[in-house]
Chain A
Amino acid sequence: MVNSAITARGLRKAYGEHTVLDGIDLTVAEGTIFSLLGPNGAGKTTTVQILTTLIGADAGEIAVGGYDVGTERDGVRELIGVTGQFAAVDELLTGRENLHMMGDLNHLPRRDTRGLATELLERFDLVEAADKPASTYSGGMTRRLDLAMTLVGNPRVIFLDEPTTGLDPRSRRAIWDIIRGLVDDLGVTVFLTTQYLEEADQLADRIAVLDQGRIVAEGTAAELKRLIPGGHIRIDFADQRALAAAQYALGPSARVLDAGDGLTLAVPSDGGVRSLRAVLDLLDAESIQAGGISVHTPNLDDVFLTLTGRSAQRPATAAEHDNDRATTEQESLA
């Protein structure tokens, strides 16, 4: 029997006329990584703010670690750690001082705090910068310090609101490794929001897709991808004759790609090795020369196009942007 670390039933939140969250249900099992996937303005940050007691919900039954987020806030706060989208480090303090401050605020004995800070600085590759002000840190270093600070309180449930947004690929991978380590080594539960399907795919046991305040799909990465027809193999040919031969060999599912010079075929595929090999074998058997071949895997835009009929990359309406700003202000005033 697996216990739930987070449960939400009928979670609603509106700012004035604008509904941000329109009846969300979530269940996150203990010791797993759950990802809330969605574009800007979908309501991801608001969800995290409610689950972490930063703001109140208008309606819904919401519990974290068995504590009600509305009436047992301190119980929730004892259990959770939060790393937000905006760096929650004190820039005037050094990395080490930030960690010491977190130890003090978690009411740990001073000696334990010092040892823990040194250990975390080593683990997060911040030893050299430990005694420099955090304002001098790079984006990736700040995010690592932010995560280290979250861990000082030994949280059982960790909320990561877009933990890799704005990071370079190398820093992003470093953060992914850290997140995997948290679950594997410490058995914590991770609630992660992201705009990147790849990130959810890499990390999450379960993914929920949030769009305009509603959950439009939920499942494992594999389950979600099956919903998306966007994946295909692209094959370039040198001339029309080779393309026609290939199209005949691959059957009716192969179609000429609209964009480009008319010499590219697109064959539906799940992006796996097996389907790629099948295509190559067919071309081989017919002795057809292909110029180039590439695998196009589904991305967030494909997910959204499929699930909502809209493109995720297109900016939300002006009203939604205003609301984003209102949310940020709420956040800082709260």
Chain B
Amino acid sequence: MSTTTVANKHAVADTMTMLRRNIIHAKRYPSMVFGILIMPTVLLLVFNYVFGGALEKSSGGEYIDYLAPGMLLLLPAYMTVSVAVSIATDKSKGIVNRFRVMAISQSSMLTGHVLGALIQALGGMAVMTGVALLIGFRPNANLLEWVAAFGLLTLVTFAFTWLAIALGLLSPNPESASNAPFPIVMMPFLGSGLVATDTMPVGLRQFAEYQPFTPITETLRGLLMGTEIGVNGWVSLGWCAVIAGGGYLWSKSIF
């Protein structure tokens, strides 16, 4: 079924058509988008004001400066839920069978979602950065470091979105698609996003140190706050490449 020749010459145009469709969906059904984009910013406020005072010492400075780079990574994590649900919902609709028998780039059905997720996540990150700055976040990054930071965030979103597409394609219905990415959503909390990993119990600490979000968080923190990046930059890029490639190939094989 998936070994068909694809009308690739229209890949870009078809992706844009699918993106327009997804944007209209987001406008007509805003609660999902709203929840996923606003929730991380709400959590940023909660963590900062509830735990900030207690955690000031372990973070060695203003807690918001430690917290904000880590919290930005909640957006790609939360986006995976939205993407998986959209893909699973599409799959259950007759319209996809129509797309299936048209001479269009078949993969545009997926790439349209990737592009839509990138736009939404970057919008959410801009909102969160604005809120963080308002409540005292004082990064010392120059323009180039800001660009690099948002470049990394884009790459992370791209990678996890492909993984989310595979999860959405595997899910039998939208309900189970909303649960499938749960481990991804939890991962930013189980890393160095909120507190330094050396305060954690041994088993959790080992997981935290070796899971992808920790080097990505450290790289982001380095770019924005000037802390030590070390090998974390390359490790982050490696993780993104592996997750994006794996998610893409996995999606392709079941699409």
Contact = CB atoms under 8 A, between A and B. Distances in A.
Interface of A: 52-56, 73-74, 77-78, 80, 82, 84, 86-93, 97, 101, 104-107, 133, 149, 153, 331-334
Contacts of A92: 24-25, 28-29
A92 B24 CA distance: 8
A333 B1 CA distance: 10
Contact of B97 (A73, A90, A334): A334
Contacts of B14: 105
Given A78-B103, A84-B94, A105-B102, A133 B28 contact: yes
A80 B20 contact: no
A73 B102 CA distance: 9
A185 to B, nearest CB: 23
A77 B103 contact: yes
A80 B101 contact: yes
B57 interface: no
Interface of B: 1, 4-7, 10, 13-14, 17, 20-21, 24-25, 28-29, 91-104
A107 B4 contact: no
A36 B147 CA distance: 61
A325 B160 CA distance: 33
B102 A107 contact: no
A113 to B, nearest CB: 11
A86 B95 CA distance: 9
Contact of B91 (A52, A54, A332): A332
Contacts of B1: 55-56, 334
A158 to B, nearest CB: 12
B12 to A, nearest CB: 11
A92 to B, nearest CB: 5
B101 A82 contact: yes
A92 B93 CA distance: 11
A78 B103 CA distance: 6
Q: Which 9 A-B pairs have the closest CB atoms?
A: A88-B98, A77-B103, A88-B94, A86-B94, A104-B17, A78-B103, A52-B101, A92-B28, A73-B4
B97 A77 contact: no
B94 A54 contact: no
Contacts of B101: 52-54, 77, 80, 82
Nearest to A135: B28
Nearest to A71: B5
A87 B98 CA distance: 9
Given A74-B5, A104-B17, A87 B94 contact: yes
B98 to A, nearest CB: 4
A45 to B, nearest CB: 11
A90 B7 CA distance: 22
B21 A90 contact: yes
Contact of A101 (B4, B6, B21, B28): B21
Nearest to B4: A73
> Looking at A78, A92, A97, which has the most chain B CB atoms within 10 Å of its CB?
A92
B28 A107 contact: no
A54 B95 CA distance: 13
Contacts of A89: 94-95
Contacts of A101: 17, 20-21
A331 B17 CA distance: 23
Contact of A332 (B10, B21, B96, B104): B96
A53 B29 CA distance: 32
Nearest to A159: B101
Nearest to A75: B103
B253 to A, nearest CB: 13
Given A84-B97, A86-B94, A93-B21, 5 more contacts: A53-B4, A82-B101, A153-B102, A333-B91, A334-B1
Interface centre among B17, B96, B101 (most CB of A within 10 A): B101
A328 to B, nearest CB: 10
A105 B104 contact: yes
Nearest to B103: A77
Given A90-B21, A92-B29, A73 B5 contact: yes
6 contacts: A53-B100, A82-B98, A84-B98, A92-B28, A104-B20, A149-B98
A151 to B, nearest CB: 13
Most buried by B among A84, A90, A149: A90
Contacts of A78: 103
Contacts of B10: 107
B152 to A, nearest CB: 33
B17 A105 contact: yes
B13 A93 contact: no
Contact of B100 (A86, A90, A106, A334): A334
Nearest to B2: A334
Contacts of A334: 1, 97, 100
A331 B97 contact: yes
